[in-house]
Homo-oligomer: A and B are copies of this chain.
Amino acid sequence: MSHSIRNKITGIVREITSEKVLSEIIIDTTSGPLAAVITTRSVRDMQLKIGDSVSALVKATNVSIEKDGSK
C-alpha cells in the first residue's frame, strides 16, 4: 500500500464535462455511477478520456453515513 487514502472504487469513465478551472467526471462502477470534481489541469495532465479504467479515491474522513429506511 503506497498511500493513506483508504477508499478506492474502480470503474470506467463515462462522461467528462469541462470548464476552464474544474471538470466533472462520471465513472461507472459496480455500485452505480460516481461523480468526481477535479481540476481541468489534472484532466489534461492525466490525458483522461471516456472509456479509461480509473479508481475513485476518497479519504475516510470525507465519508458520511445515512441509515436506509430512515426519514
- 1/0 per position for A31-46, CB-CB distance to B under 8 A? 1101111110111011
Known A-B contacts A24-B21, A34-B7; the reply to A57 vs B48 at CB < 8 A is: no
Residues of chain A having any CB pair with chain B under 8 Å = 1-10, 17-25, 27, 29-32, 34-39, 41-43, 45-46, 48, 52-71
A36 touches B60 (CB 8 A): yes
A46 to chain B, nearest CB (A): 5
CA distance A27 to B64 in the complex (A): 11
CA distance A9 to B68 in the complex (A): 11
CA distance A56 to B31 in the complex (A): 11
From B18, B22, B62, B70, give the contact of A2 (CB < 8 A): B70
